[in-house]
Structure 1
Amino acid sequence: MAALQGSLLDLADGIEVRPLGGAVSRTELTRGAWVDQRPGWVGGADDLFAALRREVPWHAERRQMYDSVVDVPRLLSFYGEGEPLPHEALEQCRQVLGDHYAVELGEPFVTAGLCLYRDGADSVAWHGDRIGRSRDQDTMVAILSVGAPRDLLLRPREGGRSLRFPAGHGDLLVMGGSCQRTWDHCVPKTARPAGPRISIQFRVRGVR
């Protein structure tokens, strides 16, 4: 597994979940979809990465792909509703997100899915989080990235130009509105040197 090169811009003393408020910028997409960004939301993100990499019970999965069963190219862990999260900073993140989006979302974030991308060969293919209510309802998926930056790409589901959102070292991306139904997203493989990254996806009840 590749080693993480720490961020030279993160000067936080310990892990710090910073305010959202006016630091969040929104990109309006099409058909009622949007993406919010808050760079450097979590200070001391490299410390959080190290703790999660060490403490989370990571596991590999295999999935059917056409006529073969293949390895999922990343490690995974999932925390369902009511389960304690693996670090107190993630509990705080979920609370801050719930407070910030309370009016717009109307319900709390209750689950957290974690993915460990070990190097540039790990990835996730084009998809939308359309299992459950998000198949036909608007929702939000909030993604905190710690570790080395990787690009999250979004493109309209019916095809078209993709948009690139780099994220790592404590950055926050929130996909909202119709984004899961009308747009797809992916983390592509890269041949460039890439250190490990962990993404934490906060979701509401009944969405995967």
Structure 2
Amino acid sequence: MATHQLQGSLFDQSDDVRLGSLAGIRRTVLGDGAWIDLLPGWLSGADALFEQLATEVPWKAERRQMYERVVDVPRLLAFYGTGETLPHPVLDEARRALSEHYADELGEAFTTAGLCHYRDGRDSVAWHGDRIGRGARENTMVAILSVGAARDLLLRPRRGGATVRQPLGHGDLIVMGGSCQRTWEHAVPKSTRASGGRISIQFRPHGVR
């Protein structure tokens, strides 16, 4: 069974789990056709949601081939496909709200949700782009809602250049769009400063992983 510890945010002590408006979302152009949208604190009651997800989601610990070795994936995972009910009603609501907000720009709905549980600062994800499926050849979007303690999400151009560092946690939303999955990479590095666990919920269109 997964263990989790969370140092709550001073600004998010409510047990009322609900979404705010997307009207305040702000875009940053990264270059090479890539951009990110950011909305801090989109979800209130995010620490309460973290506790529920950490306890109730059927998390899986995976092992993967890494060169000549099979190693543990340094985080817990869960995946909900098209048509599957998500583990909390607010996540279904978030998926619908994002699909409506980006309908004209994306041209389709967000349909799947992948969850990652970073139990402490030792859990991480290496540099990558979501290029399994259509993301390898088409512009697309990946929307990430973070609950729990803040962890840094790093972004860097694949061709080389400055790294962008964005702390995410306590109900923050980031949307990576345009060519971001093809021309940029992102990672959550290990941290000695992490104050507790974090769960990210990644909403994607069909055929993007």
The TM-score with structure 2 as length reference comes to: 0.97
Hey, what's the Cα distance between the residues in 2 that align with 1:13 and 1:59? 27
Q: Which residue is equivalent to 2:175?
A: 174
Q: Which residue is equivalent to 2:186?
A: 185
Q: Which residue is equivalent to 1:8?
A: 10
Structure 1: segments with no counterpart, 5+ residues: none
Hey, what's the Cα distance between the residues in 1 that align with 2:21 and 2:201? 18
- CA deviation after TM superposition for structure 1 residue 2, in Å: 4.8
Q: Which residue is equivalent to 2:119?
A: 118
Q: Which amino acid aligns with 2:149?
A: A
Distance 1:94 1:35, change over 3 A: same
The TM-score with structure 1 as length reference comes to: 0.97
Structure 2: segments with no counterpart, 5+ residues: none
Question: Are the aligned partners of 1:2 and 1:194 in contact in 2 as well (CA < 8 Å)?
Answer: no
Q: Which residue is equivalent to 1:128?
A: 129
Hey, what's the Cα distance between the residues in 1 that align with 2:5 and 2:12? 18
Residue 28 of structure 2 is aligned to residue 24 of structure 1: no
**Length, aligned pairs only:** 207
- CA deviation after TM superposition for structure 1 residue 193, in Å: 3.9
Q: Which residue is equivalent to 1:87?
A: 88
Matches of residues 130-145 of structure 1 in structure 2 within 5 Å?
130-145=131-146
Question: Are the aligned partners of 2:15 and 2:48 in contact in 1 as well (CA < 8 Å)?
Answer: no
Hey, what's the Cα distance between the residues in 2 that align with 1:48 and 1:140? 24
Q: Compute the RMSD of aligned alpha carbons.
A: 1.0
Question: Are the aligned partners of 1:34 and 1:176 in contact in 2 as well (CA < 8 Å)?
Answer: yes
Distance 1:193 1:140, change over 3 A: closer
Cα deviation per residue 1:129-149 (whole Å; 9 max; x = unaligned)? Answer: 000011010000000000000
Percent identity, aligned pairs only, is 66
- CA deviation after TM superposition for structure 1 residue 51, in Å: 1.0
Hey, what's the Cα distance between the residues in 1 that align with 2:179 and 2:204? 14
Hey, what's the Cα distance between the residues in 1 that align with 2:19 and 2:6? 21
- CA deviation after TM superposition for structure 1 residue 194, in Å: 2.9
Hey, what's the Cα distance between the residues in 2 that align with 1:108 and 1:55? 26
Question: Are the aligned partners of 1:78 and 1:113 in contact in 2 as well (CA < 8 Å)?
Answer: yes
Counterpart secondary structure, 2:60? coil
